[in-house]
């Protein structure tokens, strides 16, 4: 049986790239795939032989990550999905954890919805032991409860804006998981994985990057070998906390190491020109750097953490918000990372942390321990297996309904 899958990611490499990897595996299996997302990813999708369905009547930006919570932005997502669905006739919609449009349009179109999550489960886990109910929740549980309430509130606002009926708290919690939730983790990494809701499945890392090489980076790496080992920095978003860049440049500019930095969406005023031992770009293919790196500095977003652990690299994490706080706590718990407060980080504290993970072998050993588990799971294949099952189940359900109607 072949099926049709419509991917609807928010307009960010961290959301689009993993879905490209999954879609390529589905295409290899003979299924049809298409994307409804921002026009800025049109060239990338075309280069991979993937159809992007434009937003009509006037194409342009949609699925903005910066305003994922805004009802007007969600309405724009929804309109784009409706138009794409009318052209493509999908069997399944696939969205991200912050993309409400696919969830809402799955309801409107009576289509199953799969959600590609981050590298840890961000909502409360059902407790199997009733006696635990009187225990005071820890900080992670409190954040999970707050996050569910906050996202449910935003969902309610979007539903009201689109004239959809309200949901109870329990209904909203179920709705935000979709019919299938793909968690980019392994049980050995996810706390209390046995308590995950039944919709949630650990699929391993779905990290994917375009198969291209940055020639400038290759040349720079070759010409600077004498400057020392390579540290990769993925700045990522720090929400309201600003930038780490000043502390990084003061600490590492001219140090006996080479820093390859992907600055992403940071608003920092970068040092120009960069120090000789720095290679700085808005986006650096981490797959080109990590095989040569000895450590990673990051704000603890999913892509950087999964990339680092997949190569068995220790981390220095400076989480700002979102999934970063949970990812940093997990990496610290398993012994693969040191965490620093991004609001209080200094060149001295950053230098001390780099030295600690460099001289203490336990950090690398812990990262390599998780690497061994991640390497056993091919995330794109596992995700494709589950999506095929979801599509087949939806087709069986539709056939049952049709059969029942014909008998009546």
The two three-digit tokens of residue 275, written as one number: 């120090």
- Distances, alpha carbon 87 to alpha carbons 36, 94, 179, 359, in Å: 11, 16, 23, 57
Q: What is the DSSP letter of 140?
A: H
| Phi, psi torsion values for 183, nearest 5 degrees | -95, 125
Contact 10, 103 (CB under 8 A): no
Cα gap 289→81, rounded to integer Å: 36
Arithmetic mean of pLDDT, 321-325: 88
Q: Is the bond into 57 cis (omega within 30 degrees of 0)?
A: yes
Cα gap 312→94, rounded to integer Å: 30
What is the structure's pLDDT at 130? 47
What is the fold of 215-374?
Rossmann fold (3.40.50)
Fold match, 4-204+377-407 / 215-374: yes
Contact 193, 173 (CB under 8 A): no
What is the structure's pLDDT at 264? 74
| Phi, psi torsion values for 34, nearest 5 degrees | -150, 160
| Bridge partner residues of 303 (DSSP) | none
The two three-digit tokens of residue 55, written as one number: 């937003």
| Phi, psi torsion values for 382, nearest 5 degrees | -65, -40
**Residues contacting 75, CB < 8 A, separation 6+:** 158, 161, 162
Lowest average pLDDT, out of 146-160, 332-346, 364-378, 385-399, goes to 385-399
Place of tokens 């805004």: 70
| Phi, psi torsion values for 260, nearest 5 degrees | -105, 115
The two three-digit tokens of residue 250, written as one number: 């003061």
Lowest average pLDDT, out of 41-45, 233-237, 264-268, 276-280, goes to 264-268
3-state secondary structure of 316: strand
Query: How does residue 399 score in pLDDT terms, banded at 50, 70 and 90?
Result: very low
Helix (H), strand (E) at residue 116: strand 113-116
What is the structure's pLDDT at 94? 98
Q: What is the pLDDT of residues 254-300, one digit of tens each?
A: 889 999 999 876 544 555 678 899 999 888 999 999 999 999 999 99
Q: How far apart are the first and last CA of the chain?
A: 27
**Residues contacting 58, CB < 8 A, separation 6+:** none
Cα gap 69→79, rounded to integer Å: 16
3-state secondary structure of 4: strand
Q: What is the pLDDT of residues 185-220, one digit of tens each?
A: 999 999 999 999 999 999 999 999 999 899 999 999
What is the fold of 4-204+377-407?
Rossmann fold (3.40.50)
Cα gap 332→327, rounded to integer Å: 9
Spans of all domains in the chain: 4-204+377-407, 215-374
The two three-digit tokens of residue 138, written as one number: 């820890």
Q: What is the pLDDT of residues 140-170, one digit of tens each?
A: 899 999 999 999 999 999 999 999 999 999 9
pTM, to two decimals = 0.92
Lowest average pLDDT, out of 225-234, 271-280, 338-347, goes to 271-280
Query: In 265-371, which ranges are E strands?
Result: 278-281, 293-298, 315-317, 337-339
Query: In 26-76, which ranges are E strands?
Result: 32-35, 51-52
């Amino acid at each position: 049986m072949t099926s049709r899958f419509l991917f609807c990611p928010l307009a960010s490499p961290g959301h689009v790239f993993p879905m490209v990897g999954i879609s390529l595996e589905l295409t290899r299996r003979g299924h049809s795939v298409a994307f409804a997302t921002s026009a800025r990813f049109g060239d990338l999708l075309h280069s991979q032989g993937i159809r992007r369905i434009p937003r009509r009547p006037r194409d342009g930006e949609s699925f903005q990550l910066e305003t994922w919570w805004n009802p007007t932005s969600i309405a724009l997502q929804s309109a784009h999905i409706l138009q794409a669905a009318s052209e493509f006739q999908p069997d399944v919609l696939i969205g991200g954890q912050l993309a409400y449009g696919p969830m809402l349009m799955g309801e409107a179109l009576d289509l199953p919805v799969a959600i590609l999550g981050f590298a840890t489960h961000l909502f409360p886990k059902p407790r199997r032991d009733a006696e635990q109910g009187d225990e005071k929740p820890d900080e992670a549980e409190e954040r999970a409860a707050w996050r569910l309430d906050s996202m449910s509130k935003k969902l309610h606002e979007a539903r009201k804006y689109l004239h959809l009926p309200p949901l109870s708290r329990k209904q909203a919690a179920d709705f935000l998981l979709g019919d299938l939730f793909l968690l980019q983790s392994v049980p050995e990494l996810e706390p209390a994985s046995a308590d995950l809701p039944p919709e949630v499945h650990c699929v391993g890392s779905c990290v994917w990057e375009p198969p291209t090489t940055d020639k400038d980076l290759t040349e720079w790496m070759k010409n600077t070998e004498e400057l020392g080992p390579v540290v990769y920095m993925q700045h990522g978003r720090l929400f309201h906390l600003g930038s780490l860049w000043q502390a990084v440049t003061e600490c590492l500019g001219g140090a006996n190491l080479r820093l390859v930095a992907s600055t992403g969406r940071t608003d920092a005023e970068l040092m120009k020109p960069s120090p000789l031992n720095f290679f700085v770009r808005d986006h650096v293919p981490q797959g080109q750097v990590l095989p040569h790196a000895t450590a990673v500095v990051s704000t603890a977003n999913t892509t950087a953490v999964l990339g680092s652990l997949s190569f068995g690299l220790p981390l220095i994490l400076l989480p700002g918000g979102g999934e970063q706080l949970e990812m940093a706590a997990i990496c610290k718990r398993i012994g693969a990372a040191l965490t620093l407060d991004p609001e209080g980080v200094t060149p001295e504290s950053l230098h001390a942390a780099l030295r600690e993970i460099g001289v203490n072998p336990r950090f690398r050993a812990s990262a390599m321990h998780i690497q061994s588990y991640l390497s056993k799971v091919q995330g794109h294949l596992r995700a494709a297996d589950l999506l095929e099952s979801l599509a087949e189940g939806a087709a069986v359900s539709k056939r049952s309904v049709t059969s029942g109607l014909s008998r009546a």
